[in-house]
Structure formats: structure tokens, C-alpha cells
Structure 1
């Protein structure tokens, strides 16, 4: 009698990533993953005790891929900028998982590598040690939020995008100038949330780093 195939942790994560590429974390389930693998849920719980633990592992794997080949170059601002862009690029390849990083804390190797580099760069900037944890927290929250926002936009289908654009045009160009005078005034210049995402990411990151620089002794 042939025994049931045993799936490796990486094979499970690969299949989970494929399922998430056509769905979202809310509708994703261990039962669906088990069905895709041709097994039952109990066999997967040997690798991951909960769905949350599995999602954390997926996010951490992306963090680990972002840090693969990373080299410290330039001053502290250049290092943090390069790191943020690497994270953005890595999650951009799997946008459905981008929101998971901000939602579920990870304690894996990828997470520790990112934390270590951010903390070391802030220390290299010359910040007093007592200020570094708070600055670290604000910076990482900003980066995770920007990446999650981009991931949410990047994960929608072309049909959903076009529908959203039409609703945006109706809401903005059709605004009543008496009730929404400012909106009506700027209607032809206001852009939807998905527009110029790269420039917004760069500007907000640069502003945060400038704020850190202004606080240096």
C-alpha cells in the first residue's frame, strides 16, 4: 500500500503563495491549501500550527528574499533607502502577501535581518541609543504601510481597476461645486490613489529620513 506523500515546508509555502495570487488572506484557508496539495489539513498542521503561523512564514520568506544579496553601501540614509526599495520590489512580486507583513508580526530570519539592518543604520546615523527604538518603529510602520497600500492596489484585476477609475471620475468630476467647492476646483488635477505610487513612496520615505536627520545631535 502506497503511503501518503509528505510535503516539505517549502512546497507547502509555494502552493500557498500560488493560491494567494488569485485570492486574498481572508478567503485563504488551510483546508483549501490541503485540497490543492491533495492531502488533509491535519498533515499541514505538522508544519504550521495555525493559518496565521503559515501566513507569517510566507511574509518572512519574502523578507528573506529581499535581504538575499543585500550589501551595505553608502551612508545610513542610502542604506535605509536601498533596503526599503528592496522590500517594496520583493513584495511587489506577490502583492497579495504585502498586507500580511503589516498585519502579522514575524519572528523569522527574514524579519530579524531587516530589523538588524534598520537598527544598525539608525545607530550609524548618530542617533542616541535611547531614541533608536522609537525611530525604528515609525520608519518600519511607514514602509510596511506604503508597501501594503501598493500591494492592495497591485492585487486588483484589470476589471476592478477600470471600475474603480470610473467611480473615481464620477465622484470627482461630478462633485457638486456648492457642496464640495474645493473638490470641484481641483477635480481635473486630483489623482486616484493608485497613480504615481512610486513618487509617493519615494517622497514619504525621504521625508521620514529627513525628519530623522533633523533630530541628530
Structure 2
């Protein structure tokens, strides 16, 4: 009698990614993954001790893909912006995992590569070393939060998105001008959450980097 097939870690992650494309991280389970692979879920626990560990590994693989071929170019702000956009694009291809990364982080090779580049870029900015850890923390919270939020929009079906747009129109255009005077005034110009996400991402990130830049001590004149 032939033995049960043994799945590699990469094959399990491939199957998990495919399963998530048709569902979401909340409804995802190791049992469902085992059924998709035609095996008992207990065999998958030899590779991953829990659902959370598996999802973290999947998020880290996305970070590895974002870092592939990356070469730091430009000044420190350009480096951070380029890295953030690469990570955003990578999670945009698997938005179901974006919220997982925002919630649990990862901790593998991909995470270390991204952390190293962000810390190197901040060090190149001229910030004192003692300020870099806190600046790094705030920057990663911002990037992860924006990507996780965008991932939530990215997992909506076309029908769900259209329903959301209709609710937004009713909420904005139907606002009572006496009770909501500002909303009524700007109703035709305000945009729904899912509109123009890349521009919003870049503007928010640029504003935060400008805030960091303002805190960099001025360079002392040579010879002083």
C-alpha cells in the first residue's frame, strides 16, 4: 500500500496562498488546508505548530519576494519610499495576508531583510543612533497599518465594493445640511476609502518622512 504523500513546506505555503485567494484569513484553517491537499491536518503541524505560525511564514515569504532584486538607490527618503512601495505591491498581490502581517508581523528572513534596509536608511539620514529605534518603530507601524488597511479593501468582491460605494454616496450626498453642514458642503468632492490608494499611501509616507527629516540635527561646519 502506497504511503501518504509528504508535502514540502513550500508546497504547503503555495496551497495556503491559493486557498486564501478564494477566502480570507479569518475563515482560513489548517483543517481546510489539509482537505485541499488531500491530507490530514495533523501532518501539516509537523511543518507549522499553528495557523498563526503558518500565516506568519506566508507573510514572510511575501516580504522575501518584495526584497528580491532590491538595490538601495538615492537618499535615505528615496530608499524608504522605494522599499515601502515594493512591500505594498507585494502584499497587493495577496491582500488577504496583509492584515495578518499587520497583526502578527513575521520574523523570518523577509522581515530581517526589510528591517535591515529601513534601519540602514534611517542611519544614513543623519539621525542620532539613540533616536533610530523609536523612529523605526513608528515608521513600520505606519507602513504596516496602511498596507493592512489597503488589504482589507483589496479582498472585497466587486459586488461588495459597489454596495460600499452606494452606501458612501447615500451617506455623503444625502446628509442633512443643517445637522452635517461640512459634509453637505464637501459631499460631491470627498472620496470613498478605496479611491486612489497609492497616492494617499505616498503622501502619508512622505509627510512622515518629512517629519523625521525635521528632527535631524544640522551638520556641523567642517573644521568647527
Q: Distance in 2 between matches of 1:26 and 1:150?
A: 17
Could you say which residue in structure 1 is the equivalent of 2:136? 136
TM-score, structure 2 normalization: 0.96
Unaligned runs of 5+ in 1: none
User: 1:27: Cα distance to partner?
Assistant: 0.4
Could you say which residue in structure 2 is the equivalent of 1:110? 110
Could you say which residue in structure 1 is the equivalent of 2:63? 63
Q: Distance in 1 between matches of 2:105 and 2:26?
A: 17
User: 1:182: Cα distance to partner?
Assistant: 0.9
Unaligned runs of 5+ in 2: 218-224
Q: Distance in 2 between matches of 1:161 and 1:73?
A: 37
Q: How does 1:10-29 map to 2 (within 5 A)?
A: 10-29=10-29
Q: Distance in 2 between matches of 1:198 and 1:105?
A: 22
User: 1:174: Cα distance to partner?
Assistant: 0.7
Q: Distance in 2 between matches of 1:200 and 1:215?
A: 23
Q: Distance in 2 between matches of 1:143 and 1:93?
A: 16
Q: Distance in 1 between matches of 2:147 and 2:215?
A: 25
User: 1:181: Cα distance to partner?
Assistant: 1.1
Q: How does 1:1-217 map to 2 (within 5 A)?
A: 1-217=1-217
Q: Distance in 2 between matches of 1:28 and 1:137?
A: 29
Q: Distance in 2 between matches of 1:107 and 1:169?
A: 41
* Counterpart secondary structure, 2:25: coil
TM-score, structure 1 normalization: 0.99
Q: Distance in 2 between matches of 1:173 and 1:92?
A: 31
* Counterpart secondary structure, 2:73: coil
User: 1:113: Cα distance to partner?
Assistant: 0.5
Q: Distance in 1 between matches of 2:7 and 2:150?
A: 32
Q: Distance in 1 between matches of 2:148 and 2:120?
A: 24
Q: Distance in 1 between matches of 2:134 and 2:176?
A: 44
* Counterpart secondary structure, 2:4: coil
User: 1:191: Cα distance to partner?
Assistant: 0.5
* Counterpart secondary structure, 1:193: coil
Per-residue CA distance 1:33-89 (angstroms, 9 max, x = gap): 000000001100000000000000000000000001110111111110110010011
Q: Distance in 2 between matches of 1:105 and 1:166?
A: 34
User: 1:208: Cα distance to partner?
Assistant: 0.7
* Counterpart secondary structure, 1:79: helix
Moved over 6 A (4+): none
User: 1:176: Cα distance to partner?
Assistant: 1.1
